[in-house]
A and B are shown apart, each in its own frame.
Chain A
Amino acid sequence: MNITDNQTAIVRLSSIAAAALFIQQGVEPVAQMTVRDRNRIAIQSDILGAAALGIKNVLCLSGDHQKFGNHPNAKNVFDIDSMNLLRMLKDMRDEKRFECGDEMDVEPRLFLGAAANPFADPFEFRVQRLAKKIDAGADFIQSQGIYDIERFEKWLDAARDAGLTDKVYILGGVIPLKSAGAARYIKNKVAGMIVPDSIIDRMKNASDGKAEGIKIAIETVRRLKEMKGVSGVHIMAIEWEEKVSEIAEGAGLPRRSGPA
């Protein structure tokens, strides 16, 4: 269960607070953390707080630019980048050291995640960037939403050839589409995402767009399950969370124990 950190730079409930509430409900969250809004001092402080609240999984992101959000006139921070964030949290955990080198008594015990986007450019650098992220401290990787399965496989093959898939758990991102319009919007307006025309055509020609979107998502999860080097999926049913279990069941994923 991923808890986003003011995604698209729109003010939301703090990801750490929300993640702590999930823990109280018996659900293990992945708290997302961006470097857009906090400098290294605030991040380390927040991470200590998150660990004190029982948060273990942290996804380290640079964050959507504030231009996209509801406070486009805000000053961004970007004191460090997502690579530095991984390294900083890894050093806190493994070396019991803050970024400045000072020692701490009790380390935050974290499982560190990073994002990878095989659909962004330059494509050849994307595997190298994955290697850098693993080296910096990533224990798991969450990919951008996958519609262009061939490109994802090409990236995964290159990562496997470089020995990277043995070093990290890769979760493939799946975002169910609600309509052909939504597919076109993602293709044309969302930077760093690719939606092939074949997917747009399927959505356009479907009598029930929403059902087709779920069907495509289920097929994608099934394809991902077969790929060597993919350890799991991350289903991002945006404002459609009730469909997650339908997609998971439809793709034959094992049912998790604990609260739904």
Chain B
Amino acid sequence: MIVGERKPMGEILEMIAPHEKVLLLGCGTCVTVCLAGGEREVGILAAQLRIHAKKEGKDLQIEEHTIERQCENEWVDEIKSRVEGVDAVMSMACGVGVQLVAEMYPEKAILPALNTTFMGYPVQHGTWLENCRGCGNCVLHLSGGVCPITRCAKSLMNGPCGGSQDGKCEIDEDIECAWQVIYERLKSGGRLDWMNNYQPPRNWSTAGSGGPRKSVKIEEVVD
């Protein structure tokens, strides 16, 4: 899923400050699951903002609403009347959702309440691990199901650097050395060849270095 975390309150208050009527818009998909921008978090942030406004003696109206997905036109289209009634929309979706809302309501101030962090999965309650960079050229079938681009701090493709020790990455002892994990997986599967063979320089043009990416669905017929 796409993982996000709420921006610091100071930043949120600064964004909200010029506005009097704000729609706090939650997203029911990824950010609900990662406890950052779903209906529950909308409720919490709305209460915090109201309390703050009251303390400051400021006239602030907060509307709360959560839609299924902010990254699809159909869902974002449904909130038209709600958006018309406010000065600004504070989106609690990932950056994709924020941008679609901004695209569909260009006359409104659209404010991001979250920092979109990465694509990953939970490793324990409240902790998520980055697993995919969306590089556009997957090698997981070769690398034992562990992504070296994402999980090696240097995105190395030819094995661990000299800083790998006791299974840990040199940059932080809380981070696993991806290559240690890859090595063990490939070894247990008798597939160390991939690691022992030279891997040429990556083609990063699919990874965003070729400019903003666009994906067009083409149906492929397999003979």
Contact = CB atoms under 8 A, between A and B. Distances in A.
Interface of A: 36, 40, 62-65, 67-68, 76, 78-84, 87-88, 99, 115-117, 119-122, 125, 128-129, 131-132, 135-136, 144, 191-192
A62 B154 contact: yes
B187 to A, nearest CB: 8
B118 to A, nearest CB: 16
B165 A192 contact: yes
Interface of B: 153-172, 177, 180, 183-184, 195-196, 198-202, 204
Contacts of A64: 163, 170
Contact of A76 (B154, B184, B200): B154
Contacts of B159: 83, 125, 128-129, 132
A140 B154 CA distance: 23
A83 B158 contact: yes
A83 B180 contact: no
B171 A125 contact: no
Contacts of A131: 196
B195 A191 contact: no
B180 A121 contact: yes
A68 B198 CA distance: 28
A136 B170 contact: no
Contacts of B195: 125, 128
Nearest to B200: A84
A128 B196 contact: yes
Contacts of A84: 157-158, 200-201
A4 B73 CA distance: 53
Nearest to B167: A121
A40 B163 CA distance: 23
Contact of B160 (A36, A65, A67, A120): A120
Given A122-B180, A192-B164, A65 B156 contact: no
Nearest to B168: A191
Contacts of A36: 154
Contacts of A82: 156, 158, 161
Contact of B183 (A65, A115, A122): A122
Nearest to A80: B201
A65 B153 contact: yes
Given A135-B198, A192-B162, 14 more contacts: A36-B154, A64-B170, A65-B163, A67-B172, A79-B202, A81-B156, A82-B161, A84-B201, A121-B160, A122-B184, A125-B159, A128-B159, A132-B158, A132-B196
A145 to B, nearest CB: 11
A79 B204 CA distance: 8
B154 A79 contact: no
A63 B155 CA distance: 12
12 contacts: A67-B153, A68-B171, A79-B201, A81-B157, A84-B200, A87-B200, A120-B161, A121-B160, A121-B177, A125-B195, A129-B160, A144-B162
